[in-house]
Structure 1
Amino acid sequence: MTPSARVQAAIELLDAIISSARDGGPAADTLIARYFKDRRYAGSRDRRAVRDHVYDAVRRAAERPESGRAAMVGLARERPELAELFNGSAHGPAPISADEAGAAAGVVPGWIDPLLAAPVEREALLGRAPVDLRINRLKAGPDRVASFYPDAVRLSGLPEALRLPEGAPVEQSDPWKWGQVEVQDAGSQWISAACGAQPGMTVIDLCAGAGGKTLALASAMAGKGTLIAADTIRSRLSRLDPRAERAGATFIETLLLDQGHEAGALQSLHGRADVVLVDAPCSGTGTWRRNPEARWRLTPARLDRLVAEQARILDFAAPLLAPGGLLVYATCALTDREGRDQVRAFLARHAGWMAEPVDVPTGRAHGDGLLLTPAHDGTDGFYFARLRRTA
C-alpha cells in the first residue's frame, strides 16, 4: 500500500467505526481485524500504519465525527506531513479543500464532562496504557515469574503485579502459556485485593463477565472454599471455564443468570456469602485510554439506563451477604452518578449497612469509596467501595 492508500484505508475504517458506535455495533478492534482479513495484500507495516492513523484520529476527537474523512482531515490539519497524502492519487484520498471542516479536537464529550468526578485529570484519560500482569499464586510465586520478564517493574503494594511496557508480547511468554500470569490492570487488582477473600470463604462475583477478577479471587483463596462466578451474558461467562482450567482454578462454579430474574435464581444463596463483588456494568469512562471510541458510544440515555441497572444489581446483591459480610461495589467509570452517588443511594435505601474505609495504599478517598485515575495512580479509572452488612 502507498502512504496515501493507507490514509484512505483509515478513512474507510473510521467510517465503519463511527457507524458502529452510533448503532451499537462491534468495537473498533473487531472492525479492524475484519477489514484486513478481507485485504490480505496489506502487509504488516501497512496494517500497523493504518491502525495508527485510525487510533490517532479516534483519540483526537471527543465527539463522534460526521465521517471518517472528517476525522482524518481534523488530524491532518495538525500534521502537515499527513495532509500531503490527501493528493488524489490512485487509491488515495482527494485533496483537502481550503474550507473543508475537520472533526474538532477534544478529550471528553461536552455533555459528560461536568458529570466526571472533580479530581479526574481529563487529559490523562487518553494516555497510552501499560501492560499489567497478575501472577497466579495457584501456579507459581512472584519471584520465579518475574525472572521471565526482565523489563518488568514490580508495583508497590501489589506483590502479584508486574508492569510491562505498552505492547509487550505477553502471550508469547512461557508463564502465560503455563497459566502463571493473567493480563489485568493494576486497578482491577486493587479491587480484587479490597475484597479480602481468604481460603474457605464463600465468595460471589456477581457480574463476572469473562472472569478476570474471579481468577484473582481464586488465587487469593488458594483454591479453597466456594467461589461462584455469575453473569447474564452467556458468551462472556463461557470464556471463564477455559481460563480457569489454564489457571488451575477448577473449583470455580459458574452461574448463568436470566437478566431481570436474577433475584429468584439467587434466592438459595441468601445470607450465605462472606464476600460479594459487584463489578457493575458501567459507562467505561475509566477505560478510554484502552477503548477511546467508547466516548462515541455513550449517550445521556445510555448513562441513565446504566445507573438504574447498577442500583438494581446492588439491591439483589445485598441479601446474599451473611451478617458481617462484605459487599464490594466497583465500576470502571469516573462519573459521580455511577460511583459516589450510587453508593450513597444504596446506603440510604438499605438499613443495616455501613461503608468502611478502603485500606489500600493508592487512590483518593471520594465519598464513601476510593477513586483511581490514570494520572494519579497509573491505572485505568475506577471507583470502588467496601460496604459491610451490620445486621
Structure 2
Amino acid sequence: MTPAARVQTAIEILDVIAASARDGGAPADAIFAEAMRARRYAGSKDRRAIRGLVYDAIRRVRSAPVSGRAAMLALADADPELAALFDGASYGPAVITADEPRAETGLASAALIKLFDPLVGTAEHDAMLVRAPLDLRANRLRSSRDELAAIFPGGEAIEGLTDGWRLPGETAAVQHPAYAEGQFEVQDAASQYAAAALGVEAEQQAIDLCAGAGGKTLAIASATGDDAAILACDTNRARLQQLAPRAQRAGATRIETLLLNPGQESAMLAGQMGQADRVIVDAPCSGSGTWRRSPELRWRLTPARLDRHVADQAKLIELGAALVAPGGKLLYAVCSIIAREGRGQVDDFLTRNPGWTADTDYLPGAAGRAAGGGFLLTPGHDGCDGFFLARLTAPC
C-alpha cells in the first residue's frame, strides 16, 4: 500500500470506530482486527502503519468525531508530512480544504474533566494518553521476579511490588514459552497494587465478586502460595470461563468459580453471606483510568452511561459488604479517575453503613494518594493505570 492509501484506510476505520463508540458497539481493537481481515492485501508494515495512524488520531481527539476524516485532519494539522499525503492520489484521501471540519483535540471535554477526582490536575493530563508500558507479575507458584528479570533483561522493578516487572510496551512477552508455562501474567501495576491491598492471608476465605477473567484472583492465589480458598464470581460467562485454564497454567488449585445470574446475585450467594475474610469488588466503571490502553473509551462515556455505572457500583459494594465476616475486610476498586465512582461511592457507603471504617495504611511503597476514604493511583503520579482503591473493615 502507498502511504496515502494507508491514511485513507485509517480514515475508513476511524469512521467505524466513531460510530461504534456513539452506539455502544464493538471496541476499537475488534473493529481494527476485522478491518484488517477484510484487507488481506495489507502487509505487516501496512497494518502497523495504519494502526499507528488510527490510535494516534484517537489519542489526539477528545470525543467521537463527526467523521474519521475530521479526526485524521486534526492529526494532520500538527504533522506537515501527514498533511502532504492528502493529495487526491488514487486510493488516497482527497486534498484538504481550509473550511472542512476538524475534530476537537485534547484529553476530554470540559464537562468530563470537571468530573475528575480533585487530585487529577492538568499536570496529569499528558500522562493519561501516552502509551502504557507492559507490566508483568511473576507467579510465585511457578517463578519469581528475579527469574523474570533474567528472561526479560532491560526491564525494571515496580516500586512496592514484590512480583512486578516493567517492560517497554511493545515487548511480545506472551510469545515467550515462560508465559505458556505459567511463570507470569501480564497485569498492570495498578491491578497488582489492588490485589496486594486486599491482604489475603493463608487459610483465609476470599471472594472476588467481579472476577472477570480472573487477573486479581490469580494474583491472590500467587501471593498466598495457593493456601487461600478463593471464590471467583461474575455475570459474564465468556470472561469467567477463561479463569479455569489460566488457573491450571498458573498452578492455582484452590479457586472455585460461580457464574451469577444478573439480578439474582444475592440469592445465589446466600450461603456465603457473612462468611468471607476478604472480599474484593472490582466494579464495572467508566474505565477512565485505562485511557492509555483504550483511548476510545473517552468517546464512549456519556452522562447516562456514567449514571448506570454509579448505580451498579452502589449495589455491588453493598453486596460485597454483606459477604464479609465480622471484622473482615472489603476492598472496593474501580479503574476510574472520576470522583463519583471513587471517593464519592465510598463516602456514600460509609454514611449508609455506620460501624464500617476505612483503613489508612495498606498500599505498598509510596503508591497512591489519599482520596477521601481511599487512595487514588494515577499514571502521572504512580506510573500505572488510574485506579481508586478503598479497603474497608466490617464491624465486629
Instruction: With the length of structure 1 as denominator, give the TM-score of the two structures.
Output: 0.98
Question: Mean Cα displacement is larger for which, 351-360 or 151-160?
Answer: 351-360
Offset at residue 144 of structure 1 (A): 2.3
CA distance in 2, matches of 1:216, 1:225: 12
Per-residue CA deviation, residues 95-144 of structure 1 (Å, 9 max, x unaligned), is 11121121111112222111101121222110110000000001122222
CA distance in 1, matches of 2:320, 2:243: 21
Q: In structure 2, what is the equivalent of residue 319 of structure 1?
A: 322
CA distance in 2, matches of 1:345, 1:106: 32
Q: In structure 1, what is the equivalent of residue 249 of structure 2?
A: 246
Q: In structure 2, what is the equivalent of residue 149 of structure 1?
A: 152
Per-residue CA deviation, residues 276-296 of structure 1 (Å, 9 max, x unaligned), is 000000001100010000000
Offset at residue 77 of structure 1 (A): 1.2
Q: In structure 1, what is the equivalent of residue 288 of structure 2?
A: 285
1:68 equivalent in alignment to 2:52? no
Q: In structure 2, what is the equivalent of residue 264 of structure 1?
A: 267
Q: In structure 1, what is the equivalent of residue 49 of structure 2?
A: 49
CA distance in 1, matches of 2:284, 2:245: 23
2:390 aligned to 375, 385, 389, which one?
A: 385
CA distance in 1, matches of 2:180, 2:82: 41
CA distance in 1, matches of 2:148, 2:92: 48
Offset at residue 154 of structure 1 (A): 1.0
CA distance in 1, matches of 2:315, 2:270: 15
2:300 aligned to 297, 305, 309, which one?
A: 297
Task: Specify the code of the residue in structure 2 equivalent to 1:389.
Answer: A
Task: Specify the code of the residue in structure 1 equivalent to 2:94.
Answer: A
CA distance in 2, matches of 1:29, 1:109: 23
Offset at residue 215 of structure 1 (A): 0.5
SS in 1 for 2:340: coil
Instruction: With the length of structure 2 as denominator, give the TM-score of the two structures.
Output: 0.97
**1:115-154 correspondence runs (5 A):** 115-120=115-120, 121-154=124-157
Offset at residue 326 of structure 1 (A): 0.4
Task: Specify the code of the residue in structure 2 equivalent to 1:104.
Answer: E
Q: Is the 8 A contact 1:372 1:379 kept in 2?
A: yes
Percent identity at matched positions? 54
Q: Is the 8 A contact 2:173 2:179 kept in 1?
A: yes
Per-residue CA deviation, residues 236-262 of structure 1 (Å, 9 max, x unaligned), is 111111111111113210000011111
Q: In structure 2, what is the equivalent of residue 167 of structure 1?
A: 170
Q: Is the 8 A contact 1:205 1:277 kept in 2?
A: yes
Q: In structure 2, what is the equivalent of residue 12 of structure 1?
A: 12
Number of residue equivalences: 391
Offset at residue 156 of structure 1 (A): 2.3
1:368 aligned to 353, 373, 377, which one?
A: 373
SS in 2 for 1:159: coil
Per-residue CA deviation, residues 206-255 of structure 1 (Å, 9 max, x unaligned), is 00011110100111121123100000111111111111111111321000
Task: Specify the code of the residue in structure 2 equivalent to 1:94.
Answer: A
Task: Specify the code of the residue in structure 1 equivalent to 2:375.
Answer: L
CA distance in 2, matches of 1:156, 1:286: 19
SS in 2 for 1:13: helix
CA distance in 1, matches of 2:261, 2:208: 16
1:339 aligned to 342, 345, 349, which one?
A: 342
Q: Is the 8 A contact 1:358 1:385 kept in 2?
A: no
Q: Is the 8 A contact 1:59 1:126 kept in 2?
A: yes
Inter-CA distance 143–137: structure 2 relative to 1 (3 Å threshold)? same
CA distance in 1, matches of 2:155, 2:36: 32
SS in 1 for 2:15: helix
Q: In structure 2, what is the equivalent of residue 22 of structure 1?
A: 22
Offset at residue 364 of structure 1 (A): 0.6
CA distance in 1, matches of 2:383, 2:150: 23
- List gaps (5 residues or longer) in structure 2: none
Offset at residue 146 of structure 1 (A): 2.0
Q: In structure 1, what is the equivalent of residue 89 of structure 2?
A: 89
Task: Specify the code of the residue in structure 2 equivalent to 1:286.
Answer: G
CA distance in 2, matches of 1:324, 1:287: 33
CA distance in 2, matches of 1:156, 1:174: 26
Q: In structure 2, what is the equivalent of residue 236 of structure 1?
A: 239
SS in 2 for 1:115: coil
Q: Is the 8 A contact 1:358 1:386 kept in 2?
A: no
Per-residue CA deviation, residues 152-187 of structure 1 (Å, 9 max, x unaligned), is 101221110000011101012232121110000011
Per-residue CA deviation, residues 293-328 of structure 1 (Å, 9 max, x unaligned), is 000000001001100100001111111111110000
Task: Specify the code of the residue in structure 2 equivalent to 1:363.
Answer: G
Q: In structure 2, what is the equivalent of residue 110 of structure 1?
A: 110
